[in-house]
Homo-oligomer: A and B are copies of this chain.
Amino acid sequence: MRIPILKLQNYLLISIQIDLDDQTAIQFQEDLLNKIYKSGATGVVIDLTSVDIIDSFIAKVLGDVVTMSDLMGARVVLTGIQPAVAMTLIELGIHMQDVQTALDLEQGLVKLRQELEG
């Protein structure tokens, strides 16, 4: 199955509200990069509020998505990271030091606007 990607002005919004299996995560990565390319989006907010837990593969894919989006010129803000998810990301040494985070979708958008529109 696919995770819907919403376009709002120059930004893409994604709210992950299902358990991510490996196939879905890879498909999401591909869909998001394609959508950044096609839409010319400059920012992406990925909301993880409904994600309770992630395994090492999903953590890796998420880290990659952030780096790849950045390479393509779109800044990523992760929002709603729960404690268990934060712990997994850090324990696995996923490269997240440059990633912006925010409490929720709304704050994520505010952060993107501040950063990209000054």
Chain A residues near B (Cβ < 8 Å): 1-9, 13, 15-18, 47, 104-106, 109
CB-CB nearest in chain B for A3: B4
**Cα distance, A18 to B1, chains bound together (Å):** 9
Q: How many copies does the complex hold?
A: 2
Q: Which residues of B contact A3 (CB under 8 A)?
A: 4
Return the contact of A105 from the options B1, B6, B104, B105 (Cβ within 8 A).
B6
Q: Which residues of B contact A105 (CB under 8 A)?
A: 6-8
**Cα distance, A9 to B8, chains bound together (Å):** 14
Q: Which residues of B contact A16 (CB under 8 A)?
A: 4
Return the contact of A9 from the options B2, B9, B106 (Cβ within 8 A).
B106
Contact assessment for B2 and A6 in the assembled complex, using a CB-CB cutoff below 8 Å: no
Return the contact of A47 from the options B6, B9, B106 (Cβ within 8 A).
B6
CB distance from A1 to the nearest CB of B (A): 6
